[in-house]
Every structure is written in structure tokens, then in C-alpha cells.
Amino acid sequence: MSRSVGVIRFPGTNCDRDVFEAVQMAGLKAEWLWHLDRFEAKKYRALVLPGGFSFGDYLRAGALAARSPVMDSVREAAKSGTPVLGICNGFQILCESHLLPGALVKNESLRFQDEWVDLTVVNAHKAFGSNLKSGASLKLPIAHGEGRFYASEAELKRLWDSGQVWLTYKHNPNGSLQNIAGVMSDDKNVVALMPHPERAMKAWMGSEDGQIIFKTLESIL
């Protein structure tokens, strides 16, 4: 029996339904997970943390969600090789969980930004969009107030050297250091991006590039 993709919800997550639909559009089964849930490490084909404002962004964006019970299971699943994707607030949660390096801080513009961006694939991820070639372009929308990727200079260098930079902005919208829009963990199981692939699944939405991110999950058994 093929395993489903776990979509994790926290109080305040608001892109959950879109992600659930996007997973189904890719021909896969999706299953809800709640912030209080625990699950076995190998239960899911992949896990997705959708965007939103988990716990109202209290303390720091993603800080309270990162310390929720479900994240202990996410950590175990990631360790056992399950691919984990964070989108927007999901990215912030994964950084706060120390599953990803760096932090997301306020946009340089001081504003919430909602616009289309062009991205370059620096290193393809092995599960999410695995058929993308390095140098490929993606068009996806962003919608965030705190999406400026920050890491120390030494850490940034390490990310580039070890192939952990996933995506960069062609035109930096938020002041992210070195135009970084998405990164991967040391072992490359965990990956996240600030743009929203689930909002670019059909031509009428403005782009279909989001499909690429979810479609390649099919090849994971």
C-alpha cells in the first residue's frame, strides 16, 4: 500500500487546505496531522509543513510550533530518511526546530510582501522537484513579512560549499542574504522555501511550476 503524505497543522496554519489539494493533484494520498499528534518515523512517504501564522507568530515566527509534540515525530522521521518540506511559515518552524540552518527575519522593506518571484534552482532536492536541473527557473508567489533569510557568514559559506542551497531569488524581494529563498538540511532530507508552490498549480493561478515540487514525490515508495 502506498504511503500518504502527512500535512501538518498547527493552530494558525492557513495554507493547509491548499497543500492538501496540491498533494492530491500530484496523484498522492494526503493525511492530516495535528500539532499534538505523534506518529511512527516511517509511516509517511513525505511530510509537509504548510504556511500560515502558527500560534499567531507569538514570540518569534515558528517558535512555538517548533516546540510542539508533533515536531518530535517530525525530527525522528527526518532522521530515518523521510523527506520533509516546509513552506513559508513551515520554513520558519523548521529553522526554529534546528532542523534547518539559519533564521527568517523581517523583510528589509519592513512590509508584508505578496508578489510573484522568479527563482533559480541551485541544487535540486532528491524528493521535492527531483527532476529539476541545476540552473532551472521557477515562477512562484511569495506572501510573507518575515522571509529574509539570515545566517552567519561562515554558515552561508558552508551551505554553498555543501550544496545545501536549494533556491535563490533572481531579484531579491526581501533582503535575504545571498538571495537565498530555500535551503536543505545537512543530510538533505529536510528542505524548505519561502515561496508558495501550492499557490501555483494551474495556469489560471499564474503559474504551474508548483506542480513540479509535489509531482516527483510519486517516485518515493
Partner 1 sequence: MSGIIRVGVKVMPREVILDTQGRAVEHLLKQKQMHVSHCRVGRFVELEFATESEKAALEQAKVIAETVLHNPLIETFELIPMTNGR
Quote the cell numbers at residue 56.
Answer: 499567531
In terms of CB distance, is 138 or 183 closer to partner 1? 183
In terms of Cα–Cα distance, which of 81, 72, 39, 99 is closest to 221? Answer: 81
Q: Applying CB under 8 A, which part among 33-41, 75-83, 99-107, 194-202 lies near partner 1?
A: 99-107
Residues 30-59 interacting with partner 1 (rule: CB under 8 A) = 59
What is the C-alpha to C-alpha distance for residues 199 and 206, in angstroms, rounded to an integer?
A: 9
In terms of CB distance, is 60 or 75 closer to partner 1? 60
Cα distance from N-terminal residue to C-terminal residue, the chain: 9
Residues 134-163 interacting with partner 1 (rule: CB under 8 A) = 148, 150-152
Question: How many angstroms from the chain centroid is the CA of residue 15?
Answer: 12
In terms of Cα–Cα distance, which of 120, 114, 170 is closest to 147? Answer: 114
Q: Applying CB under 8 A, which part among 2-10, 60-68, 71-79, 158-166 lies near partner 1?
A: 60-68
In terms of CB distance, is 43 or 67 closer to partner 1? 67
Does 93 sit near partner 1 (CB under 8 A)?
no
Does the active-site annotation cover 88?
A: yes
Query: What is residue 117's three-state secondary structure?
Result: strand
**With CB under 8 A, what is the number of residues at the site for partner 1?**
17
Instruction: Report yes or no: 181 and 119 within 8 Å, Cβ to Cβ.
Output: yes
Q: Applying CB under 8 A, which part among 15-23, 95-103, 196-204, 207-215 lies near partner 1?
A: 95-103
